[in-house]
Structure 1
C-alpha cells in the first residue's frame, strides 16, 4: 500500500504492518504554524487511532521560542499545562523520504483545544462554506531565501553577514536553476513523494531566493500542503548543509517574502465555478464580487492572522511588492487583492497581502472566511484600482495597521472575527500577538545603539 492511499484507521494499521514499522512519526501544527511532534510506538499509535492520544497543551500556549504566554486563559501556569486530547488523521499519511520507510501522520486537537487549534479553525470555516453551498479551493505559493549556513553558523555570526546560496538579483534564472539542478531536483522529488506537488519553482528577485507554487487543491488539503512544504523545505535545506528562511523580510536590502493565497469557490451542486460569469466584466460573477468585497473590507480587521509577526510589518511598505491598503485590481500586482480573470476553471482571487511567515491554516482561514462574510452580507467592493496603487489615495478604512500590536487590537474588536472564528480563538490569538509585541519591546536593536549610544 502507498502512503497516500491510506484513508481509514484500518488502512493505517495495514501499511504499518506491511512495512514492519516499530514506530511512526506524529505531528501537530501550533499557533505559529510550527510542526510539533514525536515518534510513537506502533502499539501506542494503533490504540490512538481509535481513541486519540494526549499531547501537552503547552504547544498552544507558548511562542515560537517555547516561552509560555502569560496573558491567555486556555492554558498556562494557572492550569498546570495539562494534556489535551488529539485525534490522528489517517488520510494525512505520508512517506518521509529522508527516513527509511518511515511514515508521518498529522493530528489535530479536539474538544476545548479545537477552539484554538489552527487546523480545526480552518475546518470550521470550510464547513461554513459547504453550508452556503460552496466547495473552497486554494493554492499557496511561497518565496524563501536559501543560505550557505547552518543553525550553528548563523548563531555564531549573530545572524549577520550571512552567505546566500547565490549572489545578486536574478529572477527566473535558468543559469541558477541549472547550476543548482541537483538541489532543485531534490525539492521537486520531495514535493511529489510527500504530496505537496509544485507547479512552478524558480528563482525570484534577490540573492538566493526561490519561489514555489504548490498545486491547487481543496482548502483543507491546500493548507496541509503549505504547512508541510514549509516544514520539510527547511529539513531538506539543512540536510544539504543549507538553511531556508520564510521570514517576511530578512534584509533591508532585499524585497520581502510573500505567501500568496489563490482562492476560488465552486458550487457544491456540480454547476461549476461560483466566480465565473462570461457575461460580466472581467468574467466576475456576482458571488465573486461579494467575496472580493468581504476580503477587502475585513482585511484590516484580520490582518494579524495574515501578518502574524513583528517582522511581517517591515515587509508592508510601498514599492516592495507588498500592499499597504486593502485594495483590489484586475491583474494588478500593486494591490492587496488581484482578480485573475480566466476560464470557468481558473477564475480566482489572489490574496497578495500574505507573507511567507504566516501559518497556512490561519492565513487561509482569514482569506476564505472574509470572502464568505462578504457573500453573506452581499457587500460590494470599492472601485477597482488601475495603475500603481502605491501612488494613489484610498479610503481611510482600507488602511492597514503598521504594527502587530495595532493589528491585534483590530482583531479583538472585530465582530466579524468573533462570529466567524469564535471568541475563544480571537481572544487567544490576539493575546498571543500582544505577547509577541511585548517580547519585542524588551529588545534593544542595533539601529537604536547606532543612533542613540553616543549622540543623544
Structure 2
C-alpha cells in the first residue's frame, strides 16, 4: 500500500498526535527510536532524522564497541516508510513509523537490516517467488518486586490453555488484541502458554517486509499495554531457567509473484510438499548452524535450544514434528493450498527480524538454486533417532553457545556474502562483545540484562 507524506501528516493531526517515534532495530535486536514533534513531521518524513554511525555499534549492555566504520564520526538518516505510520493505542498522543537507515545519497549505508531484507525479497522475486510470513511470539508477564521479576500467575500456576488462565489476564489480553487490530494487524489466536505467566498471540501472515515490520509493532504493543497494567512483558528466550522458553516461531510460505498460486504446496507430492519446497528446506537446513547466530542470537537463546524442548537442537525437518527445526504444518480442511506453510522453530524475539527473515529466505533460495535435497523427514524426536536415521535425514547438531554460533556464521561464506562485509563486521563485533561480557558474569546478570531488552 502506497501512502504519501501529506496523508500521514493529516492522519497525525486528526488523531491528535504530538510525538512520532522514528523507529529502527539495531543488530542486538533492540527497538530504538528518536521522536519528532508533529510540527516537524512533514519535512522529517522526507529528509529523515539524523543518527550517528556509532549507534549501530552499541551492544545489548549499552556499551559502544570499537568497530572500524562505526565510530562516532559522520551521520546517517532514519528515513521512514510512510506506509508504516501507526497511532499507538497505549500511548496517548504518540505514533510511530518504521525506518530505513540511509546515507546522504538516500541508499542503504551498508548496515541497515530493513534494507537487507528488501534486497533478499528482490532476489526472491528474480526467481519468481514471493514470500508470506509471520512471527508467532511467546512471552512472559511479570511484576518487578524488590529487584526480582516474578511471573504474573496464580499461586499454583494456571494450566496451559486453561479457562482460569484466560480469566486471569482477560482485560489485559482484550486491550492488547484491540491495540494490535487498531494498527491493522490481524489477530488469529490468543492463549495462555505452558510457563507461569507465559502468553502467546498469533497474527496473520503478510508479505515478508510487512511481517518483519509487524514483529516490531507487535513487541512494542505487548510491552506498552502490559506497562499500562503495571506489568512487564519479557520476550527473552529463557527468562526463567526453570520454565519453558519463549520462541518467535516463523511461519512462511512461498507463492508466485501474483500471490495466487502456492509454490510450496503440491497435492500429488508426499505430505503435500512441492519439489521447490524440499529444495528450500534443504537450503535452510544446510545453513542452519550459521543461521542461529541471526535467528536465536542472544546469549540467553542457547538455554532454550535444548533437545526435547520443542525448540530444536538439530537441523532436522519433518511433517508436523514439533521437535524439528523445520516443521511442515498440516493444512486446514478446504484451505489446503492457502494454509500450507512451514514453521521455523529455531527463532526467538531477541533477533533483529529483518536480518533473521532475510537470512532464512536467502538460505532457502540457495537450496533452490543448487537443487539441494533435505534428506528424509524425521518422524520422531531427533533425540531418540538412531545414528542411521540421523544420517538419512542429514540431521546435524546446532551450536550450543553464542560464541559457537557466531563462529559458524563467520565461516558460512554464502550467508556472509548476502550480508556484505560491512554489516557482517558490525554484527560479529557487537555480538562477540556480548558473548564475552555475559560469559564473564553469572546467571542473575544474564537474566536481568535480557529480561526487558527485547
TM-score normalized by the length of structure 2: 0.90
| 1:95 equivalenced with 2:87 (yes/no) | yes
TM superposition outliers: structure 1 runs of 4+ over 6 Å = none
Q: Distance in 2 between matches of 1:36 and 1:127?
A: 26
- Residue 250 of structure 2 is aligned to residue 261 of structure 1: yes
Look up the match of 1:453: none
Q: How does 1:74-89 map to 2 (within 5 A)?
A: 74-76=69-71, 80-89=72-81
Q: Find the residue that maps to 1:140 and give its secondary structure.
A: strand
Residue 51 and residue 356 in structure 1: after superposition, are their counterparts in 2 closer, same or farther (change >3 A)?
Answer: closer
- 3-state SS, counterpart of residue 310 of structure 1: coil
Q: Which residue of 1 aligns with 2:451?
A: none
- Select 2:417's aligned residue among 402, 413, 419: 419
Aligned residues: 432
Stretch moving more, 391-400 or 267-276: 391-400
Mapping of 1:37-436 within 5 angstroms?
A: 37-70=33-66, 72-76=67-71, 80-111=72-103, 114-149=109-144, 153=145, 156-157=146-147, 159=148, 162-166=150-154, 167-168=156-157, 170-269=159-258, 272-342=261-331, 343-392=336-385, 393=387, 394-395=390-391, 398-436=396-434
**1:9-54 alpha-carbon deviations (Å, 9 max, x no partner):** 2212332344565543322222223221232123432112223331
- d(CA) in 1 for partners of 2:28 and 2:77? 20
Could you tell me whether the CA contact under 8 Å between 1:114 and 1:120 is conserved in 2?
Answer: no
| 1:29 corresponds to 2:29 | no
Q: In 1, Cα distance between the equivalents of 2:444 and 2:16? A: 54
Contact 2:283 2:364 (C-alpha < 8 Å) held by counterparts = yes
Q: Is the 8 A contact 2:158 2:164 kept in 1?
A: no
Relative to structure 1, the CA distance from residue 418 to residue 47 in structure 2 (aligned partners, 3 Å threshold; closer, same or farther) is: same
Q: Deviations over 1:247-288 (max 9, x none)?
A: 111222211111100011101155500111111111111110
Moved more, 281-290 or 17-26: 17-26
SS at match of 1:106: strand
Give how far 1:420 is off: 2.1
Aligned-pair distance for 1:233?
0.9
Q: Deviations over 1:212-232 (max 9, x none)?
A: 112111111111111211122
Q: With a CA cutoff of 8 Å and minimum separation of 6, indicate the structure with the bigger relative contact order.
A: 2
Could you say which residue in structure 2 is the equivalent of 1:13? 9
Matches of 2:366 and 2:397, distance apart in 1: 20
- The unaligned stretches of length 5 or more in structure 1 are 448-456
1:6, 1:93 within 8 Å by CA — same for their partners in 2? Answer: no
- Matched-pair contact (CA < 8 Å) for 1:237–1:243: yes
| Residue pair 1:32, 1:358 contacting (<8 A) in 2 also | yes
Whether the aligned pair in 1 keeps the contact of 2:308 and 2:381 (CA below 8 Å) is no
- What TM-score, normalized by structure 1, do the two folds share? 0.89
Q: CA deviation at 1:446?
A: 6.8
CA contact under 8 A between 1:417 and 1:426: conserved in structure 2? no
